Amino acid sequence: MRWLRRNIVVFAGLLTLAYLILPNIVVMVFSFNNPAGKFNYSWQEFSTEAWQDPCGVADMCGSLVLSLQIAFFATIGATVLGAMIAFALVRYRFKARGAINSLIFLPMAMPEVVMAASLLTLFLNLGAQLGFWTILIAHTMFCLSFVVVAVKARVLSMDPRLEEAARDLYAGPVQTFLRVTLPIAAPGIAAGAMLAFALSFDDFIITNFNSGSTVTFPMFVWGSAQRGTPVQINVIGTAMFIIAVLIVVVAQLISSRRKHSAQSK
Amino acid sequence: MTDTQAGGDVRLSGISKNYGSFQAVHPLDLTVPQGSFFALLGASGCGKTTTLRMIAGLEDPTTGTVFLGDRDVTGLPPYKRPVNTVFQSYALFPHLTIYENVAFGLRRRGIKSVKKQVGEMLDLVELGDFAQRKPHQLSGGQQQRVAVARALINHPQVLLLDEPLGALDLKLRRQMQLELKRIQTEVGITFVHVTHDQEEAMTMADTVAVMNGGRVEQLGAPAELYENPHTTFVANFLGTSNLIEAEVVSTSAGKVVVSAADATLRLPADRCATAPTTGGKILVGVRPEKISLLHADEAAQITDGRNRLTGTITASSFIGVSTQFVIDSPVCPDLEVYVQNIERDVRLVPGARVVLHWNPEHTFGLDAAQDIDAGVETVGESAS
Amino acid sequence: MTATATAAPAAEPGVVHKRSLRRKLVPYWLLLPGILWLVVFFALPLVYQASTSVQTGSLEEGFKVTWHFQTYWDALTEYWPHFVRSVLYAGTATVLCLLLGYPLAYLIAFKAGRWRNLLLVLVIAPFFTSFLIRTLAWKTILSDSGPVVDVLDTVGFLDITNLLGMTDGSRVLATPLAVVTGLTYNFLPFMILPLYTSLERMDSRLHEAAGDLYAKPSTTFRKVTLPLSMPGVVSGTLLTFIPASGDYINAELLGSTDTKMVGNVIQSQFLRVLDYPTAAALSFILMAVVLIVVTIYIRRAGTEDLV
C-alpha cells in the first residue's frame, strides 16, 4: 500500500499517457478492419486490403499531395519571414517593439475560428478566388508567430560575442551572418520549420474557411466523417505516425552516436 | 608584417562613450606604445571593457579618435581593423572545429592555403593534436589558448584581451599568465589586456592604467603604481594600504612631518601626491608588508628615525608564508600588518599590546579630500 | 600608410554617422516583410470583420455598413447558450488537462530517468497522426455499449455524470462528456509540454533542500514545486483554453445538436447560412470574451512574459 502511495505519480502519469496513446492504437488497429458499412467505427474482421491499396479511395491521395505542397511552401514562407523577425527582435533596438510583440503574440492568443472567419471576410471583400493561394497565405500567417517564438528562443541563448568575434576576425556583416549566426541559429530555425510544417499540414479550421472547393487532407477526413470513412484514412494516419516516429528515433540515434564518438575521440 | 612597422602605437585621443545620459568613458587620452603589454585595470563597470571595444571597433566612440600608428581607424568597422580580440569566455564558434576556428580570420581575408599557418599556430599554443575537435570538447585552459591562437594567427597590429583568464581557476590562471607573457615576448605584438584582477595586471603588464568611474586614475609601471599610488582608489585597489588621516605639522628639506592622534609620523615630500601645507590635512599611507611588529615589551629596540605607532592586536590569521594581523590603534581602528613567517613571536596573539614601526621612506601621502575607502573590495563585489 | 595624423579627425564624424544610420535601418528591413504579412492577413481582416459585423443586407443585394449594432444583441440573445457551452466545455477541458497533465509532466521531468526521451516522444507522437483521424477514433472508443462505456457504467461513473448533466443514460457519444473528452484529449499535449519545460528547468536539489528543511513530500510539492511551475501552468492553461473555446470539431464529430459550441455557429453562419454580419459579430464577441478571460488570468497569475 505504501509502495502504491509513493508511486502514485507514476501511475497517474502512465494513465494519462495511455489516454494520449489510445486513439493512435485504435487508428492503427482499425486500419486492418474490414468494415461492414461505409463507416469504419466498429470492428468486423481482420483485413490487409486497405494497406495493399492505400490510394484506392477517390481523391484522397490527391488531397494528401496538396496538403504536403501547401505545408512545404507555407513552411518556407513562415520560416523565412519569422526568422527575420526573430533576429530583428533579439539583435536590434528599434521603435514600436511593444506593438510588434503584440502583433506576433495575438495570432497565438486568438481562437483559430476568429482568425479563419476574419480572413474569409477579407478575401470575400477583395473578391479573391478561394483555393490554393488563399490557403497558403492563411497558413503562412498563422505559422509565422510560432516560428518567431522558436527561433527567438535559440537566438536569445546565443552569445552575442560570437558575432562580434566573427566581425573582429574580418568577416563583414554578410559573412558574419552566413558563417556564424545562421549555422548556430539553425537548430532553432529547424524546430520552427518543423512546427510550421506540422501545424500547416494538420490545420483544419482555417483551411475550412478559406479553401473554397479545394480539398486538403484534413478537409477530406472531415468530409468523409459525413459521407463515410474509408479504412485508407487509418492507413495514412498509421503510416504518418510510423514514419514520424522512425524519423525521431533515427535522429536520436544519430545525435547520440555522434556525441558518443566525439567523446571517445 | 604590420607588427614590425615603426610607429605602431595605439593612440586614443579625447575618446569617450555615452549610453544615453550615462557616461561610460569620460574623454580620455591614452597612448599604448608599440610592442608593449598594456593592462587596463579596474572594477566591473569602470569603462575598461568599453575602452577596449572602441579600439576593436565593436563600439562607436561618442567623441574622439582612435589611431593605430598614424592611421585614423575610428570610422572603420571591426572587420577592417588590423586588430584582433580574445573575448571574455572566448566566444569560440561552437559549430566549427578548432582548426576552422583558428583558420576563420585567414579565410575571411581570402587566404586559400591556411594549413601551414594554422598548424604552426596550433603548435605555438600546444594544441596540435586537437585540431579536429569541437570547442566544447576542450577544457577551459585549452579553449583559452584556441582563442589566443585564433586572434594571433592574423598577425594583428594590436591584440586585445578582454578578461581572458576570468573563467579559469586560480592555478590555471597563474599558468596562463606566464604563458601569455611568453607568447607576447615571442611575437612582439602590442597586447592590450583588460582585467579586474590587480595581481594579473601587475604580473603581466609593462604598463598598467587603473580605471575608475570611466576615468584613468593613474598610469604607470606596476611597481611604480604599487609603491606610489596617487589616489586612495589606486592605493586600495592595488593591494592593501593602511591610510591614516593626519595633520601636517611642518614641511622642510623634503621632509613632511604630520601628526595623527598620539603619533608623529614623517614621510618624504616627493612621495606626496598633493603639495602638503602646514596645518592642512593629508592621508598618510603605508603598505602592510612594510611594517614591522614588536611586542610592547620590546619597544625599546626600535631605532630612532622610524615611524612608530602603538596598538592592540584584534585579529590574526596565519596563512603560511606570513601572518596577517589587524591592529587597533588610536590613529586607525584596523591597521593591517603582514609579518613574514621567519621567527614567530608567540606573544603576538589577539589582545596583545604591540608597537608598529617602519621606515619613513616607505610612507606615501595622498590628498585628504577623497573617499578614504575608495577601491576597497567589499564582500560580494569581489569577482572570482 | 601616410603620416598625416593631424588631418584625420576632421573627416571623422560624417563616416560614423553614415555607418550608424545604415545599421539603424537593418532591423526595419528584417521586420518589414513578416510584419506586413501579419498586418495584411491578420490585423486588417479583423478590421474587415468589424465592419462586416455592423453591415446589413443580403447576399443578392450585397452588404452595406449601416452601423447596425443590433446584430450583436441579436446574436447574443439567440446564441448565448452556445457561448456558455464554449466557456464551460473549454474550462472543464482545461482543468482536466491540468489534472491529467501535471502528473505526467512531473513523471517525465523527475522520475523517468533514462526513459525520459521515450516518454517525451510518446507525448508528441499523437501529433503525427492527423488530429481529425484521432478524433474520429474516439467515436469508436466511446461507442455505445463498447467496453469503455460498459466499464464507466458498471463502476457508476456515468451515474455521476448523469447527475451533472454531462451524459444521458448509458450513452457517452453525442453527450457533453464526449465533447469534453475529445477537447481534453486534443489539447492535452499543449498543457503537458509547457508544464514539463517549467518543471525540467527546476533544480532537483530544491526537493532535497525542502526535505532537509523538514517539509513532507506533499508540503514540498505545495510550497516549492507547484509555485515554481506556475509559469508552465499559466501558459499551458492558456494554450489549452484558447483553442478549445473556439473549437468546433469535437462538438461536430463527437457531440449532438445539443452540444454545439459557438465555433459551430460561426462556422455554419459563415459557410452554410452565409449570414456574414451575424457570423462576424459572433466571432468578435468570442474574441472579446477570450481576450478578457486571458487578460484577467494573466494579471492574476502574474506571468507577463509568455512568449
Phi and psi angles of residue C85, each rounded to the nearest 5 degrees, phi first:
-60, -45
Question: Taking Cα atoms as reference points, which of A229, A49, A212, A74 lies closest to residue A136?
Answer: A74
C-beta separation of B96 from B104 below 8 A: yes
* Distance of alpha carbon C294 from the chain centroid: 10
d(CA C173, CA C148): 11
How near does any CA of chain C get to the CA of B71, in Å?
7
Residues in chain C with CB shorter than 8 Å from the CB of A87 are: 30
Enumerate domains of chain A plus CATH numbers. 59-216 (1.10.3720.10)
d(CA A216, CA C3): 72
The CA distance from B353 to B244, in Å, is 20
3-class secondary structure, A33: strand
CA distance C267 to C249: 10
Given CB atoms, is A161 within the 8 Å cutoff of chain B? yes
Print the SS3 string covering B51-88: HHHHHHCCCCCCEEEEEECCEECCCCCHHHCCEEEEEC
Give the rounded distance of the alpha carbon of B33 from its chain centre. 17
- Give me the pLDDT at residue A260, please: 64
Comparing CB atoms, the residue among C12, C19, C20 nearest residue B72 is C12
Give the type of residue at B155: H
Q: Which residue has the higher pLDDT, A22 or B45?
A: A22
Distance from CA of C306 to the nearest CA of A (A): 9
Average pLDDT of the segment spanning B264-288: 90
Measured between CB atoms, does B70 come within 8 Å of chain C?
yes
Other CB atoms within 10 A of residue A171 CB: 23
Neighbours of B, requiring at least 3 CB pairs below 8 Å, are A, C
Instruction: Give the closest residue to A180 by CA, choosing from A172, B185, B334.
Output: A172
Q: What are phi and psi of A105, to 5 degrees?
A: -75, -40
**Nearest of B279, B345, B290, B352 to residue B318 by alpha carbon:** B345
Kindly write down the DSSP assignment for every residue of C39-84, as one continuous string: IIIIIHHHHHHHHHHTEEEETTTEEEE---THHHHHHHHHHHHHHH
Q: What is the pLDDT of residue B375?
A: 81
Phi then psi dihedrals of residue B85, to 5 deg = -125, 140
pLDDT of residue A261: 61
HSE-CB at B220 with a 13 A cutoff on CA atoms is 13
Phi-psi region of B69 (alpha: psi -120 to 50; beta: other; left: phi over 0): left
Partner-chain contact A162 B93, CB within 8 Å: yes
A114: its cell numbers: 476568429
Higher per-residue pLDDT: A188 or C59? A188
| Residue B131 at interface with chain A, using a CB cutoff of 8 Å | no
| Interchain contact C4–B (C-beta under 8 A) | yes
Reported CATH class of domain B240-367 = mainly beta
Alpha-carbon distance C63 to A132, whole Å?
26
Q: Among A255-259, B226-230, B302-306, B338-342, name the one with the lowest average pLDDT.
A: A255-259
Q: Count Cα neighbours of A220 within 13 Å in the Cβ-side half-sphere.
A: 23
pLDDT tier, B244 (very low <50, low <70, confident <90, very high otherwise): very high
Question: How high is the mean pLDDT of chain A?
Answer: 90
CATH of domain C72-301: 1.10.3720.10
- Predicted confidence at residue C125, as pLDDT, reads 81
What is the reported pLDDT for B165? 86
A112 in Cβ contact with C267 (< 8 Å): no
Q: Where are the domains positioned within chain B?
A: 2-227, 240-367
Q: Which of A157, A163, A170, A178 to mutate to test the interface with B (most CBs of B within 10 A)?
A: A170
When mean pLDDT is compared across A206-220, B345-359, C205-219, the lowest value belongs to: C205-219
> Scanning every residue of chain B, which has its alpha carbon at the shortest distance from the alpha carbon of A165?
B91
Q: If you average pLDDT over residues A159-177, what whole number do you get?
A: 92
Stretch B69-82: mean pLDDT = 90
Q: Which of C291, C248, C289, C293 is nearest to C268 (CA)?
A: C248
- C100 interaction partners in chain A (CB closer than 8 Å): 12, 15-16, 19
Backbone angles phi, psi at C66, to 5 degrees: -125, 15
Query: Closest Cα of chain C to B300: distance in Å?
Result: 59
Min Cα separation C210/chain A (Å): 17
Tens of pLDDT, residue by residue over A81-110, are 999 999 999 888 888 888 999 899 889 889
List the single residue in B with minimal CA-CA distance to A181.
Answer: B93
For chains A and B, CB pairs below 8 A equal: 74
Q: Residues of C with CB below 8 A from B72's CB? A: 5, 8-9, 11-12
Residue A201 corresponds to which cell in the numbers above?
A: 499540414
Is residue A6 scored above 60 in pLDDT? yes
Q: What is the DSSP letter of B277?
A: -
Q: Does C6 touch chain B (CB under 8 A)?
A: no
Q: In chain B, what residues touch A169 (CB-CB under 8 Å)?
A: 79, 84, 104-105, 108, 150-151, 154
Residues of chain C whose pLDDT is less than 70? 1-20, 302-307
Question: What is the reported pLDDT for B209?
Answer: 94
Question: In angstroms, what separates the C-alpha of C31 from chain A's closest C-alpha?
Answer: 5
CB neighbourhood size of B100 (10 A): 18
Enumerate the residues of chain C whose CB falls inside 8 A of the CB of residue A92: 26-27, 30
Q: Which residues of C are less than 8 Å from A91 in CB distance?
A: 27
The burial class, CB within 10 Å (0-12 / 13-18 / 19+), for C183 is: buried
Q: Do C37 and A144 lie within an 8 Å CB cutoff?
A: yes
Strand pairing class (B353-358; B292-295): antiparallel
Q: CB–CB of A168 and B84 under 8 A?
A: yes
What is the reported pLDDT for C302? Answer: 60
pLDDT at A263 > cutoff 60:
no
List, as one string, the DSSP characters of A137-151.
Answer: HHHHHHHHHHHHHHH
> In a 3-state reduction of DSSP, which class is residue A34?
coil
Whether C276 has its CB under 8 Å from any CB of chain A: the answer is yes
Q: With an 8 Å Cβ cutoff, is C12 touching chain B? A: yes
CA geometry: angle at A174 spanning A169 and A179, to 5°? 60
Chain B positions in Cβ-Cβ contact with residue C9 (cut-off 8 Å): 13, 65, 72
Q: What is the rounded average pLDDT of the residues B120-140?
A: 90
pTM across the whole model:
0.82
Task: Please list every residue in chain B whose beta carbon sits closer than 8 Å to the beta carbon of residue C1.
Answer: 5, 69-71
> Taking phi first (over 0 means left), then psi (-120 to 50 degrees means alpha), and beta for anything else, what does residue B328 get?
beta
- Closest Cα partner for B348 from B317, B379, B308? B317
CA nearest neighbour of B272 among B179, B341, B363: B363
Enter the C-alpha cell of residue A14: 502512465
pLDDT of A222 higher than 80 = yes
B74 φ, ψ (degrees, to nearest 5):
-50, -40
Per the structure block, which three cell numbers stand in for B14?
579625447
Q: What is the DSSP letter of C109?
A: I
3-state secondary structure at position B333: strand
pLDDT at position B383: 41
Helix (H) or strand (E) holding B231: none
Residues of chain B by 3-state class (helix, strand, coil), percent to 5: 30, 35, 35
CA dist., res. B96 & res. B153, Å (int): 17
Nearest chain A residue (CA) to B104 = A169
Q: B195 near B201, Cβ under 8 Å? A: yes
Residue C143: all three cell numbers together: 461507442
Residues of A in contact with C268 (CB under 8 A): none
CA atoms within 13 A on the CB side of B246: 32
CATH architecture of B2-227: 3-Layer(aba) Sandwich (3.40)
- SS3 string of chain B? CHHHCCCCCEEEEEEEEEECCEEEEEEEEEEECCCCEEEEECCCCCCHHHHHHHHHCCCCCCEEEEEECCEECCCCCHHHCCEEEEECCECCCCCCCHHHHHHHHHHHCCCCCCHHHHHHHHHHCCCHHHCCCCHHHCCHHHHHHHHHHHHHCCCCCEEEEECCCCCCCHHHHHHHHHHHHHHHHHHCCEEEEEECCHHHHHHHCCEEEEEECCEEEEEECHHHHHHCCCCHHHHHHCCCCEEEEEEEEEEECCEEEEEECCEEEEEEHHHECCCCCCCCEEEEEECHHHCEEEEHHHHHHCCCCCEEEEEEEEEEEECCCEEEEEEEECCEEEEEEEEECCCCCCCCCCCCEEEEEECHHHCEEEECCCCCCCCCCCCCCCCC
Which of A247, A220, A238, A230 is closest to A37 using CA atoms? A230
Sheet harboring B255-260: ordered strands across?
Answer: B263-268, B255-260, B242-252, B281-286, B364-367
Burial A80-115 (b: 16+ CB within 10 A, else e): bbbbbbbbbbbbbeeeeeeebeebbebbbbbbbbbb
